[in-house]
Amino acid sequence: MNMATQELIETTVFCTYQQIDYSFYSSLEESGLIEITLVDEQKYIRHSQLQQLEKMARFYEPDG
């Protein structure tokens, strides 16, 4: 992990951990509710957004 990503969590890791589909995260981003940080073509969230994003993830309901 380099200095640029020490305060960041990769979005795919977060989605896997929270068991949410990436499209949910993507829709939050498109709505302006969360910000992403792009590093070497990978999307990351900041640690400072983690608590807010975890609360939003509780509302996720998979299709089906």
d(CA 26, CA 54): 14
- Predicted pLDDT at 57: 82
Task: Find residue 46's DSSP bridge partners.
Answer: 8
Q: Please choose, from the candidates 30, 22, 29, the residue with its C-alpha nearest in 3D space to the C-alpha of residue 52.
A: 29
d(CA 34, CA 31): 8
- Predicted pLDDT at 62: 67
- Predicted pLDDT at 31: 93
pLDDT tens per residue across all 64 residues of the chain: 555 557 899 999 988 988 888 888 888 899 998 898 999 999 999 999 988 888 888 877 766 5
41: left (phi over 0), alpha (psi -120 to 50) or beta: left
d(CA 38, CA 19): 22
> pTM of this prediction?
0.73
